[in-house]
């Protein structure tokens, strides 16, 4: 990464301009052209510097049912179950942590019944391991801008 890459990331952390040509607007601020902004973002994504680039929506306000989920799995089942979890389009995060439970992920579905069905499918893939759901009770939005 060079300083222009860092500047692009700094600006994007504040939000993508809601204009017909947002990457041109970013480029104008950085004294580079729109194509350069887009190609730099693509390269950073390919290199793994940027993991996700996209909008975050308030699923509850959209009428959807979301929850943080957790499971306790033996080490030898983690990869297999993670692949099942990641196959659902409503999963935005999935990670391993030390301790119990050791797998944490999000489930976002059209409604509570669909969310329960997803959890049941994941449980079945994990030989019946329980999926604990922790629906949002109160939302806290923490803004973190990384330098």
pLDDT in tens, the chain (147 residues): 899 999 999 999 888 889 999 999 999 999 999 999 999 999 999 998 887 777 777 778 888 888 999 999 999 999 999 999 999 888 888 999 999 999 999 999 999 999 999 999 999 999 999 999 998 787 776 666 666
Domain residue ranges of the chain, discontinuous segments joined by +: 3-46, 65-135
What integer pLDDT is reported at residue 90 of this predicted model? 85
* pLDDT score recorded for residue 143: 66
Give the whole-angstrom CA distance, residue 81 versus residue 121. Answer: 10
Output the DSSP codes for 84-142. HHHTSTT---EEE-SSSS-EEEEEEESSHHHHHHHHHHHHHHTTT---EEEE-SS----
Q: What pLDDT score was predicted for residue 119?
A: 95
pLDDT at 139: 74
Question: What is the reported pLDDT for 52?
Answer: 77
| 34 vs 106: CA distance, rounded Å | 34
What is residue 131's predicted lDDT score, i.e. its pLDDT? 96
Q: Which fold has domain 65-135?
A: Alpha-Beta Plaits (3.30.70)
Determine the pLDDT at residue 50.
87
């Amino acid at each position: 990464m060079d300083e222009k890459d860092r500047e692009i990331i700094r600006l994007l952390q504040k939000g993508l301009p809601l204009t017909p040509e947002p990457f041109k607007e970013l480029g104008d601020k950085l004294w580079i052209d729109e194509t350069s902004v887009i190609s730099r973002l693509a390269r950073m994504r390919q290199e793994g510097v940027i993991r996700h680039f996209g909008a975050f929506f308030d699923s509850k306000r959209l009428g959807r049912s979301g929850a943080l989920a957790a499971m306790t799995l033996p080490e030898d089942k983690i990869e297999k179950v993670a692949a099942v979890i990641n196959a659902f389009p409503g999963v935005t995060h999935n990670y391993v942590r030390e301790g119990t439970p050791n797998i944490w992920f999000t489930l976002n579905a059209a409604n509570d019944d669909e969310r329960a069905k997803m959890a049941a499918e994941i449980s079945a893939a994990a030989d019946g391991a329980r999926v604990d759901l922790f629906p949002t009770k109160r939302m806290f939005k923490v803004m973190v801008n990384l330098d």
